[in-house]
Amino acid sequence: MTDSPDASPPAPRRRGRPRNEGLRRTILRAAAALLEERGVDGVTIEAIAERASVGKQTIYRRWSSRAAVLVEAFLSQDDVTAPIPDGGSLRRDLATFAGVVSASASDESLRRSVAGLVAASHADPEVGRLFRERFVAPARAAVRELLERGLVRGEVHPDVDLEVIIDELLGAIWYRALISGGRLDHTYAEALAAAVGQGVGSRDRAPFQGKRPGRPGAVPEPTIDLFGGTEPGAEP
């Protein structure tokens, strides 16, 4: 018996089972809620599984570790690093960005989560990689975009090191949030934006070139990377 010329070929068989994205979101919501309630150290895979009504193996099939779940759960809740629309001036854009990040950093549960995830990055390189890629890098990219717009408008001196300015802006906010405990309000965001904006436009701010001269026989200060990676330009 021959096949009919109109017969359709059999559909190819799929290999494996497709991931259930709804289940993934359920697990992330459960992990995020526990992270807010208990902090990083207080959340276990068992607790996440119980809250999400799944087995532990269901979680381990999707994430390599407890901390990896928490990184993604934390980052899935809110995007505070989205690009800032062009407001027409660098100072206005910097103030908008600083205000958005400051408002998020003012949240006590978010501060606890950031501090806990940074600490967890020391013990788990994968967490450090994820945290840099998903939280640190997007924030830096958003500030870099603002500075590059200012460069095109002539508001940023062409010799300014943009990466250092990014450190100044983000570092100031998170220093207040995690260390000094200073207020993070609209007034602070405006003052920070004014200081950064004035600095990047100054022609008296000469670019640093080469190595700084040191005292004869002096031991160079170590470069510290909070996330366990290699600092760009660090001496081996």
The DSSP result for 99-147, as a single string, is HHHHHHHT-HHHHHHHHHHHHHHHH-HHHHHHHIIIIIHHHHHHHHHHH
Angstrom distance (rounded) from CA 200 to CA 46: 50
Domain boundaries defined on the chain? 21-75, 78-201
- What is the identity of the amino acid at 155? E
pLDDT at site 137: 93
pLDDT at site 108: 85
Per the listing, tokens 């950031």 go with: 114
pLDDT at site 65: 84
117 token code pair: 């995830």
Query: What residues have CB less than 8 Å from 4, skipping those under 6 apart?
Result: none
Angstrom distance (rounded) from CA 37 to CA 24: 20
Q: How high is the mean pLDDT of the chain?
A: 79
pLDDT at site 127: 81
pLDDT at site 145: 94
pLDDT at site 79: 60
pLDDT at site 116: 85
pLDDT at site 48: 96
Q: Note the pTM of the prediction, 2 decimals.
A: 0.71
Give me the CATH code for the 78-201 domain, please: 1.10.357.10
pLDDT at site 168: 95
pLDDT at site 203: 52
Can you list the residues of the chain whose pLDDT is less than 70? 1-19, 77-82, 202-236
- Report which DSSP code applies to 12: P
Angstrom distance (rounded) from CA 195 to CA 234: 28
Cα angle value 227/228/234 (rounded, 5°)? 105
pLDDT at site 19: 59
Give the residue among 141, 171, 5, 172 at the shortest CA–CA distance from 79.
141
Angstrom distance (rounded) from CA 14 to CA 171: 48
Fold of 21-75: Arc Repressor Mutant, subunit A (1.10.10)
179 token code pair: 């260390």
Provide the angle, in degrees to the nearest 10, between the axes of the packed helices 45-52 and 66-77.
50
Confirm if 203 and 93 have CB atoms less than 8 A apart: no
